Amino acid sequence: MSFVLTKDLLDKVEKAVDTKNSQFVENELSLLRPADISTVLNEMDTEQAMFVMDLLTVETAAEIISYLDEDVCIPFIRNYPSETIAQWINYIDSDDAADILNELPLQTREEIIAFLDSKEKADYIIDLLHYEEDCAGGLMAKELISANINWTVIQAIDEIRRQAEKVEKIYSLYVVDNQERLLGRVSLKKIILSNDETRIADIYEQGIVAVKTYQDEDEVAEIMRKYDLAAVPVINERGKLMGRITIDDAVDVITEQAEEERQIITGISEDIEEDDNVLMLTRARLPWLIIGMAGGLMGARFIGLFEKDLAILPAMAFFIPLITATGGNVGIQSSSIVLQSLANKSMIGVNYFQRLFKVLIVAIINGVVISVIVFGFTIILGQTVNLAGIVAISLFFVVLLASFMGTITPLVLDKLGINPALAAGPFITTANDLLGLAVYFSTAHMLYSF
């Protein structure tokens, strides 16, 4: 059952912490997993969280540190001496450890590495610190189990036993040659079912999927999703096995990517959370609000150009919200479908003209249906046939134009190297509002004699 932090539990724990009731805190937290305890600590102030951490074993505290949100974790651990942080790092996977150390001052980072118990762990972290955070090298962990192709099964089993303590998740053994170049992998099932003297060369799987250290994290996550991989090996340009990326890291990337897309679509320009300070929240939301306001002012000015026409036929104003809302909705629908295709890489090899033709057919059908409904509804409301015709014809062309804009804009932005999610947010909505008004009043001028 998934843990849900309630206000009642948080209040009880905080009260116990404030009164230094260690026994109650230990009893309550003993029922929780480390990931759940990190959820509790995220809601506490620094002094309270430090009190709780002092009650935990080093191993549990280390696991909690790896679960804490980055914007909480880094300020929190800076309250501890380098030696204490090093004790936690001893129990944290090298990839998570490198991420933490990358956010600390250089001197603190060097001190922590010097305090580590294992020279091998220190070497792992130093190696990972050289990679950018958003590439496969920065995402990988150095802890893995490899087997030389010339080994026997019993030698591979001995290696598994030797490495078992430091490798938390064992999915398979990677097979390498004498130069540590990746050749393939052998599953634990095959190792268990094979005789002790069976050679690894006779049972390993060749041609496995691997990623290069420099590949972007989004590309890595897509590869793991596409091939349904629990882990993927990472190699350098010479094919040497450098580390592996496990599914939990890929899920983090996918989650962050989805969050970023959602924020961009809703017009938020920075990665923010609800508990961030007021200045950060304002700075992230204000730019697109200003752009939307500018679009609204332009729309108002545009309507003002037809003030005399509206004075002659005031009923036209009733349908302005219908025109702008329909255009915005159609544009967002179209751009969302294209964004999904771009995210799944399904646009590769697709003829753009065929896609646009398909969009045109769908838009025509939708436009006809909407126009007929609106025409009939306008007549029922007691408006003239001429006005009903203007609204219906305008809506038809607005649907066509918004569908085209919603389809082509993400493709153009993607080609320019700009996040295409911008097309599904305030950008496409504001643009379609202005285009919809232009179509509406232009149609009125052509079809209605004022």
Chain centre distance of CA 68? 17
Asked if residue 261 is part of any domain, the answer here is no
Residue among 209, 215, 151, 214 at smallest CA distance from 182: 209
Is residue 332 located within the same domain as residue 197? no
Clarify whether residues 151 and 130 are in a common domain: no
Per-residue pLDDT tens for 52-75?
Answer: 998 999 999 999 998 887 778 888
Structural domain of 207: 146-256
96 & 171 share domain: no
Same domain, 353 and 231: no
Q: What is the mean pLDDT of residues 273-289?
A: 68
Tokens of 328: 């915005």
The helix/strand/coil state of 335 is: helix
Confidence of residue 260 (pLDDT cuts 50, 70, 90): confident
Does one domain contain both 44 and 151?
no
pLDDT at 346: 46
* Last residue of one domain, picked from the residues 104, 134, 164: 134
Nearest to 304 by CA among 320, 291, 290: 320
CB atoms within 10 A of CB 33: 14
Domain boundary among 102, 134, 166: 134
317 with 422, same domain? Answer: yes
Phi, psi of 104 (to 5 degrees): -100, 155
- Please indicate, yes or no, if residue 438 is contained in any of the structural domains: yes
C-beta of residue 282 within 8 angstroms of C-beta of residue 274: no
Residue 97, judged by CB atoms within 10 A of its CB (0-12, 13-18, 19+), counts as buried
Please report whether residue 233 resides in a domain: yes
Cα–Cα distance measured from residue 115 to residue 82, given in angstroms and rounded to the nearest whole number: 8
Claim to verify: residue 423 and residue 335 sit in the same structural domain: yes
Q: What is the pLDDT of residue 450?
A: 47
Q: What is the chain's mean pLDDT, rounded?
A: 84
71 in any annotated domain? yes
Ranking 296-305, 342-351, 385-394, 418-427 by mean pLDDT, the lowest is 342-351
Could you tell me the pTM of the whole model? Answer: 0.69
Domain count, the chain: 3
pLDDT band at 116 (very low <50, low <70, confident <90, very high): very high
249/303 same-domain check:
no
For residues 380-406, average pLDDT: 87
Tell whether the model's pLDDT for residue 349 goes beyond 60: no
